[in-house]
Structure 1
Amino acid sequence: MCQFISSISKQDLRLLYSRGFISEKRKILERLGILEQVFEKFIDAENNTEPIKNAELIELFDSCSDNTKNIEELTKTLLKISPGNGTIGFSQVNFLVDYLRQKVWKYLQDKRYNLDLTPHDHAFGSGGDFIKTIHATTHASIIAAPLVTICKTGTGNVTSPHGSSQAMIELGYNHIQVHPSSLKELLASYNFAFVSLADLGFPYSDKLREARKQLWHQNVMEINCRYKPTKENWQEILKKIDIPINIDIFKIVAPNAQVLNPVHHSTGVCHLGMIPYVLGIYLHLGSQGIIYHCYDGIDEISNACVNPVKDIPNNLIIKVDSENITIAEFSPEDIGLERASIEEIKGERELKEEVNIFWEILQGEKQHFKTKRDFLVANAGLLLVAGEKVPNLHEDIVSQLKTGVNIAENLIDSGKSGKNFRQLLLALNNQQL
């Protein structure tokens, strides 16, 4: 068993976000496993940050919504507000989280939307850009819904062929816009609802999406030119690069602002360098839930891996409770799944084909799409653990996740997940909500 599990109090972890030398924080850093070097780089960057003034930060952030700006101008703006760039630290990220929450709250007030929702959990992937996988977080939420009430949010595509909003529409979910009464009824009756972030007043536009794509392609080109990665050294290179060279602020702030105030918030990151900023938001908002990452550059946990060697860990989760942080590193084998090739979980170019595969899986198909099914149940199991819906909460986090995977399997095989989602779609189509 190639596991690393460590528990740290929130009080201790907050010391890593305070000003001071790394030597003063060494005892805490040594308990972080693979995150030790990540936080060392983060602390060094924070100590060398000369923060931008809040007024200028707001002006830059708001200018991302300016339709008069061209894509090149927006890309330059994204670079100016990229965390870790010397002027944007974790405090500025948290400031933008608060600012965005206030903007969304005002937007909803102006629309006269009362979103006093049923207590629910939330899940969001920041974008599995390095490996374009199937829509695991969205599909996993549907699988887990009979046991976990989830209000899933999502966006259109930025660097992938299609985003979760497009996937939900293709599945037949035609209410991605905000309908307060519908949201409440869906969560109460079916434990699941989906909302487009754009319809909550988040600053998304076609030009901004293109600028974010351009920023990402610059990152990829930089990595390829500087490191010349191959399949054999891909994970090691991805672990040691200092970024993704320039972090997209919208991958940090928007998914984690948690404007609907979930009970548990689970979020995926595609690069280790994003974790200190995302974890800082959890501490700032007092959030509970899980942050997750696959070392191949996926914003989910994965049964598939570039490295074919069994029992080599490829996943990292950080569970945030009311008082403590649990960090765990584990392999597919640790949670009862077979290791597979990374190629087997990549998304289909045609969205319709990908959605058809999900329907097959939801109906109990095990053989033709086994690897994709395992990928989805791994992430559904994760949501069950985040929502504390597994019976062995007294055991270590990896054992809990293994149990969550088994429960997710049973939700599919018993027909509960499929029946629940089909009934939800039927209710929408019959306009009963």
Structure 2
Amino acid sequence: MRICVANLLGILKESVNADIIFSILEELQPNKLSINELAEAILSIERKYAQRFGTEHVNNFGTGGDWKKTINISTMSSIIAARHFLPIVKVGTSHVTSSWGSREFFDALKLSGNNLIEDYLRISEFRYIGLEELGIPYSNPLRAARRDLFENEFLDIFKVIFPISNLTGSLGQVNGVSDVRYLSIFVDIVRHLRRNSIILHNENGIDEIFSGGNVIIEIRDGRVKEEYLTIGPYSEETSEFMKESSSVLHHVDKFERILLKKCPASALETVGYNISAVTKLKMPFVPINDIYDMVSNVI
């Protein structure tokens, strides 16, 4: 008998065995489920866990899990965008396939003792919220099972239901999608739920705008518009700058260099386009290059 998708989190909360969790997630791969089943799971999560934040804002939550070992561009871009353009709540987790997840990176920013970054966070209308702070069960056995899914090239239901769930009462969401196999699933669910969303995918399997070809899908009131953007190729210096560092504190240093514009120009361009993607949510169907022209004059 099929496991009830809407009760998935309750089932996993009772399990501490990674092998059992893997078998459940293997059965519930999103390509094996209907859009209605996935939408009901998302609505069930929202009914149980969503919180409403007072300020009108947008929500940024990517799929992650790409194993590309790049710096956390989405968090950096969200902080800058929230300083200049619109309030943002970033929803995230600790690392699954990277050395540092958005949780570790944001905690390192707060504890860095860097006056520039502390002042920037104080002024920016940015807030970070982890799944655990919303009461969503997320255990180490679950992380292990999800890594096994990735290594077996299975689709992961959590890469769909967590990012699409509107857990903060936002006006719209930015969802980065690393694996192209998820793109049509995201589009179909967002349209089904009548959500406003920006979906990002890089051809190199990254859930942010990055070097190479990028697709930017804007969905608003059921209408879908796609844009394509090419960045790079990166120089050797930029490629090194964009790599995940051995210490999360090095990521903090790189963020400071971005704020001071002391990073490679193409790295700053990449951050600018990611800021532009978030800002699209308050500028319906404006071409991303037009938004980038505005953003680049500010950052």
- Settle same-fold status: TM greater than 0.5: yes
Q: Deviations over 1:199-230 (max 9, x none)?
A: 102231111111111211222xxxxxxxxxxx
1:329 aligns with 2:223: no
1:405 aligns with 2:292: yes
1:383 corresponds, among 262, 273, 278, to 278
Aligned to 2:116: none
Q: Report the Cα offset of residue 275 of structure 1.
A: 1.5
Aligned to 2:269: 374
Secondary structure, in 3 states, of the residue corresponding to 1:317? strand
Aligned to 2:117: none
Q: Report the Cα offset of residue 133 of structure 1.
A: 1.6
Kept after mapping to 1: 8 A contact 2:85/2:279: yes
TM-score (norm 1): 0.62
2:39 corresponds, among 81, 84, 94, to 94
Measured in 1, the distance between the counterparts of 2:6 and 2:197 equals 28
1:269 corresponds, among 177, 184, 191, to 177
1:280 aligns with 2:166: no
1:167 aligns with 2:115: no
Q: In the TM superposition, what are the counterparts of 1:231-380 in structure 2 within 5 Å? A: 246-302=154-210, 304-305=211-212, 314-332=213-231, 338-340=232-234, 343-344=239-240, 345-366=242-263, 369-380=264-275
Q: Deviations over 1:126-153 (max 9, x none)?
A: 1051422211111111111121111111
Q: Report the Cα offset of residue 256 of structure 1.
A: 1.1
Aligned to 1:196: 130
Aligned to 2:58: 121
RMSD: 2.5
Kept after mapping to 1: 8 A contact 2:6/2:42: no
1:207 aligns with 2:141: yes
Structure 1 residues 139, 274: closer, same or farther in 2, change over 3 A?
A: same
Secondary structure, in 3 states, of the residue corresponding to 1:340? coil
- The amino acid of 2:228's aligned partner reads E
Measured in 1, the distance between the counterparts of 2:122 and 2:56 equals 9
> Which blocks of at least 5 consecutive residues in structure 2 are unaligned?
113-120
Secondary structure, in 3 states, of the residue corresponding to 2:4? helix
Measured in 2, the distance between the counterparts of 1:353 and 1:64 equals 35
1:56 aligns with 2:4: yes
Q: Deviations over 1:229-268 (max 9, x none)?
A: xxxxxxxxxxxxxxxxx21111110111012121121101
Structure 1 residues 251, 214: closer, same or farther in 2, change over 3 A?
A: same
- The amino acid of 2:152's aligned partner reads Q
1:78 corresponds, among 8, 17, 25, to 25
Measured in 2, the distance between the counterparts of 1:131 and 1:372 equals 16
1:141 aligns with 2:78: yes
Measured in 2, the distance between the counterparts of 1:331 and 1:58 equals 39
Structure 1 residues 266, 255: closer, same or farther in 2, change over 3 A?
A: same
Secondary structure, in 3 states, of the residue corresponding to 1:158? coil
Kept after mapping to 1: 8 A contact 2:42/2:161: yes
1:65 aligns with 2:13: yes
Structure 1 residues 116, 143: closer, same or farther in 2, change over 3 A?
A: closer
- The amino acid of 2:85's aligned partner reads L
Kept after mapping to 2: 8 A contact 1:143/1:408: no
Measured in 1, the distance between the counterparts of 2:258 and 2:8 equals 44
Q: Report the Cα offset of residue 323 of structure 1.
A: 4.8
> Which blocks of at least 5 consecutive residues in structure 1 are unaligned?
1-51, 109-114, 175-186, 220-245, 306-313, 333-337, 413-433
Number of residue pairs matched by the alignment: 288
Measured in 2, the distance between the counterparts of 1:166 and 1:296 equals 24
Q: Report the Cα offset of residue 188 of structure 1.
A: 11
- The amino acid of 1:276's aligned partner reads S
